[in-house]
Structure 1
Amino acid sequence: MNARLDARLVPCAAAAWAVTLVGLYAGERAALAVSVMAILLAGVAATARVRGSRAVRAVAGPLLATFLIGAGYGVAVGVRAGVAETHPLAIAAARGASVTAEVVLDGDPKPLRQNHFGGAPQVRVPASLRSAQLGRERIDAGGSLVLFAAADTWAALVPGQRITVRGTLAVADGPGLEVALVRAEGPPRAVAPPPLHQRWAATVRERLVSAAHTVLSPDAAGLLPGLIVGDTSNLPDDVREEFRVAGLTHLTAVSGANVSIVLGAVLLLVRALGIGPRTGTALAVLALVAFVVVVRPSPSVLRAAAMGSVALLALVVGRRRQAMPALAASIGVLLIAAPDLAADAGFALSVVATAGLIAVAPGWVTRMRARGCPRAVAEVCAVSAAAFVVTAPIVAALSGTVSVVAIVANVAVAPVLPPLTVLGSLIVVCGAVWPPAAELLARGAAPMLWWLLEVAERSASLPTAELAVPAGAAGAVSVVAAIVCGWVVVRHRRLRRIVAVAALAAAAVCVPMWIRQPGWPGTGWVIVACDVGQGDSFVLSTGATAARSSWTPGRTRRPSTGACAGCG
């Protein structure tokens, strides 16, 4: 634990997050009930702070602040939830009414992997309502909508565009403050151009993609925009899956590391030019705003940008910067501006990972250095391990899997990430000014991109690269139990020796089997034959993704309870 860690704001941020979640999932009445309970508890804490002993007063003060903040957030999210529940479109969605709405797009159209509305590819688009025509009734009211539409006519839209859409309403039954879902019928109508800053951002992103595809391989060209601006639309599905299995998906979700590099580069340049701290801070704020506009305000980017803004404010007023208070303050600010983030998995992963890096990683670095480990190696290993440990339960609950190779893969790619991020940022800047220079710089990024792709592919191809666990709370609890057991083993020398001997024995048996028999069927197979006692099955490879099979019924010579992937 960092000796200078200031965690006084952490209970307040936790209370705000918990109460907001109650409002998103349970609705207006539950949020207001929690607020009333928090006010009563705040009264008890205030009384204890006035009349209690010194020890009681020391505890009652933080509790009073926590309960008051929780009550305030409960009222805020309760009122918003009530407005969403009683919105005219929410009422009309219950009967599946048709609507013509004028909306402003809040984000990029995101492709749907599973299409719930037919065979054609679909996209999901968040939008803000401006007005709607519901039968003969005109509704001039705000609210959040989610549009589902055909990808061929909607994928090219840009955030900030004002459009008219006609479609069928559906109930938004998930957590959040959306008033309704809209299944769009046909292409968007009366499409207005996006604002100037969004047009600029779209141009910057397009030029980055163009420079990457001009000089890089398809896999690297799809990866570079994801690393720099979070654009994974051109990332091949097999590469996406390899990154997921290897525990490297977070690299394509722009987060605090990118924000830190941008702000750090601007502040270093300001210092080198001899510019004063206030002017330098203003330039850093402009760079931060431009960065958020270009990469789009995803949950991790919003969290990192808010945290960076708090740190910049502390720099201006001359207060000592502390990471944990900045993180807690950013959570509070973001939940006021966008309560839906409380139920967003990306936001939760980003916050938990950052908290782990602040609270856990420094202590591990100190212990590793005390054992003679070089500082650079200790920091890389501690950061990767801490981020994995604190996020693994959430990942297990969401996906039902745990990556076994995530720590090693992240340590392997760590050396190339800072120079690649800096070079990628230069590619973005040059692409906006002089595209040929961006293409030249993109060639320089090719070796580092190759290394990322190679690590992801090799890691994902290892046997048991990920383990299946129960999804939901059971998976999270099982992973937490495994982490606790691992911590106990690490803390006791005798247990470490026993586990090490058992692991070496298991590896001595399993690794040769995996090397000699990497899977079924083996790599480069041509024909596979299988006899399960009830007949014979033959599968002939006719291509990379095609095969022909035959089945010959036979006598049942012996009872068979097995199954074969090639039979049927």
Structure 2
Amino acid sequence: MVLAAVVVGAGFAAAGAWQEYLVAGHPLHEVASGRRVWVRAVASDDPKALAEKRFGGKKVMVRAELVEFREGGEVVRAGGAVVVMAPEAGWRGLLPGQEVEFRAKVSPPWRSDLTVAVLRADGPPVSVGEPPWWQRVAGRVRGHFADAAQRALPDDAAGLLPGLVIGDTSRLTERVRDNFEETDLAHLTAVSGANITILLGAVLVSMRALTVDPRVGAVVAGLALVMFVILARPSPSVLRAAVMGAVALLALCTGRRKQALPALCTAIIGLLAWSPALAVDAGFALSVLATAGLIVLAPGWSDWLRAHGWWRIPADGLAVAAAAFVVTTPVVIAMTGHLSLVAIGVNVLVEPVIAPITVLGALGALLACLWSPPAAFVLHCTSPPLWWLLTVADRAAALGASVALPTGIRSGLITAVLCALLIAALRPRSHGTTIESGPTVESGPAIESDSAGRTRSGPAGR
């Protein structure tokens, strides 16, 4: 096993070095910073709105795959990941898979994440291609859901609900975005294991109620999983949760017992083999760390709390929030320098309302594509839990209980050492008493994650 780990690690190291070599020798690097080129690229994600106060007006950020660029009369065909900074007009409705042509100023990448360059578009794209049919369908569903939420809920809640259910933050108000970042709740608007657990659980329970063979039910759940990934967009946290769900469904088909830690390890190895760039993606790292914390630390901490008189639900909630916070804090501080002193308490307070919001929101999203009146009624039922979530975030952000720390590797390493000492100090001691397991990490096809999984994209931040 040690030899296998060494071989796999060496393979990933070689793949990562090759990717870095390709990026370092990319033809776009030869274009001087500040020069303008004509670019053809394919959008790989939805446009993300950027804070107006930081960027001087309404702008969006689009991640894309370069097809070719033209400087003067020379056309250079070259791939590579680019980040496009553009005005909102003409870019806001772009869908993944659409090819666009535009003129832009070349800037160096913000981070060493295998991005070739940052392209600052001069204006709207001069041509926009057609997206794939599945992206058109997904875009229509997302649009119907967001419109239905806008009609049924107040502005803040209407912008938040699609983010909680399918990761669509296009209508999230700036005030809510700032409050969530300040209180370490931004992970809630990133689709994760909780969403996929609810989806696959609902499908499998429905198949069982219809007395369908479990293997057929697993296949149907797999198809639902693929459709959900397309709808929610394949972000790193979605991919990690989806692969873990697929591993669990495979275990169901083969009759093997589902185990969380092997599923997580399989997801990591498979995704890194498929896309080495995930090795330097902070969102992927935070998602993996948070999930590992829930699997390894949270059950023992919950058992210890229950042994000291806590009820199961509050013990599980505190253990989950604390475990995810401790293991992800070093990465968050290294990247952003932001440490919220109320993050654990805020996550514990809002945790009970996340599942009802997700279930009702998913039902409302389905109905919004079929019949508006019942969709509006179902989405209106999410008002009380959304009010609680927004109120907790607003009151906690008003406390200003956060600390600004230096960013960088040194800060991250120091924080990691302190967190490791804290984990060792909190390691539960055996009291000779057997207690039923704490937070269940094998109860569903996917694992709750991203309890602190937020990262900031570029200087704007997520």
2:346 is aligned, of 402, 405, 409, to 409
Q: 1:223 to 1:138 in 2, by over 3 A?
A: same
Q: Deviations over 1:95-132 (max 9, x none)?
A: 6554323221101112333789x844332211122334
Distance 1:192 1:88 in 2: 25
Name the residue aligned to 1:210.
147
Matched to 2:9, the amino acid is G
> Is 2:250 the partner of 1:308?
no
The equivalent of 2:370 in structure 1 is 433
Establish whether residue 103 from structure 1 lines up as the match of residue 41 from structure 2: yes
Letter in 2 for 1:85: A
Alignment match, 1:466 = 402
Q: Distance in 2 between matches of 1:272 and 1:107?
A: 37
Find the counterpart in structure 1 of residue 445 from structure 2. none
Aligned 8 A contact 1:123 1:148 in 2: yes
Q: Distance in 2 between matches of 1:230 and 1:74?
A: 32
Distance 2:170 2:329 in 1: 26
Alignment of 1:112-511 (within 5 A): 112-113=50-51, 119-172=56-109, 174-462=111-399, 465-477=401-413, 479-480=415-416, 483=419
Alpha carbons 1:115, 1:121 under 8 Å: kept: no
Decide whether aligned partners of structure 1 residues 447 and 101 sit closer, same or farther in structure 2, where only a CA change above 3 A counts.
same
How far 1:264 moved relative to its partner? 1.0
Q: How many matched pairs? A: 429
Higher RCO, 1 or 2 (CA under 8 Å, sep at least 6)? Answer: 2
Q: 1:484 to 1:69 in 2, by over 3 A?
A: closer
Report the CA distance shift for 1:76/1:480 in structure 2 as closer, same or farther (over 3 A): closer
1:433 aligned counterpart, secondary structure: coil
Find the aligned partners of 1:391 and 1:137 in 2 and give their Cα distance: 46
Q: SS of the residue aligned with 2:382?
A: helix
Distance 1:490 1:178 in 2: 40
* Aligned-partner Cα distance in 1 for 2:408–2:77: 40
Counterpart secondary structure, 1:275: coil
Secondary structure in 1 matching 2:89: helix
How far the C-alpha of 1:425 sits from its partner, in A, is: 0.7
Report the Cα distance in structure 2 between the residues aligned to 1:89 and 1:472, rounded to whole angstroms.
27
CA distance in 1, matches of 2:428, 2:162: 45
In structure 1, C-alpha distance between the alignment counterparts of 2:303 and 2:59, rounded to whole Å: 50
Distance 1:75 1:382, change over 3 A: same
Contact 2:83–2:117 at 8 Å: present in 1 too?
yes
User: 1:552 corresponds to which residue?
Assistant: none
Letter in 2 for 1:207: H
> SS in structure 2 opposite 1:470?
coil
The unaligned stretches of length 5 or more in structure 2 are 430-462
Aligned mates of 2:198, 2:339 — CA distance in 1? 29
Greater shift, 388-397 or 107-116, is seen at 107-116
Is the CA contact (8 Å cut-off) linking 2:113 and 2:281 kept in structure 1? no
- Deviation at residue 447 of structure 1 after TM alignment: 0.5
Question: Does structure 2 conserve the Cα–Cα contact (< 8 Å) formed by 1:149 and 1:185?
Answer: yes
1:487 and 1:85 map into 2 onto residues whose CA distance is 39
Which protein has the larger Cα radius of gyration, Structure 1 or Structure 2? 1
Alignment partners' CA distance in 2, 1:337 and 1:173:
24
Cα offset for 1:438? 1.4
Q: Which residue of 1 aligns with 2:21?
A: 82
Structure 2 contact 42–64 (Cα < 8 Å) conserved: yes
How far 1:420 moved relative to its partner?
A: 1.4
Separation in 1 of the partners of 2:236 and 2:76?
Answer: 30
Tell me the alpha carbon deviations over residues 205-224 of structure 1, each in whole angstroms, 9 at most, x when there is no partner: 11121111112111111111
Give yes or no for contact 2:109–2:117 (8 Å, CA) kept in 1: yes
Determine the C-alpha separation between the residues in 2 that align with 1:274 and 1:301: 30
Measured after TM superposition, the shift of residue 87 of structure 1 is 3.0
Q: How many percent identity over aligned positions?
A: 47
Describe the shift of the 1:481–1:152 C-alpha distance in structure 2 as closer, same or farther (beyond 3 A): same
Match of 1:509 in 2: none
Q: Deviations for 1:404-437, whole angstroms, at most 9, x for unmatched residues? A: 2222211111221112111111011111222222
Q: Is contact 1:154-1:187 (8 Å) kept?
A: yes
1:81 aligned partner, one-letter code: E
Alignment partner, residue 6 of structure 2:
67
The AA in structure 2 aligned to 1:66 is A
Which segment is superposed worse, 376-385 or 179-188?
179-188
Q: Give the TM-score taking structure 2 as reference length.
A: 0.86
Root mean square deviation, CA, Å: 2.5
Shift of 1:442: 0.9
CA contact (8 A) 2:27 2:78 kept: no
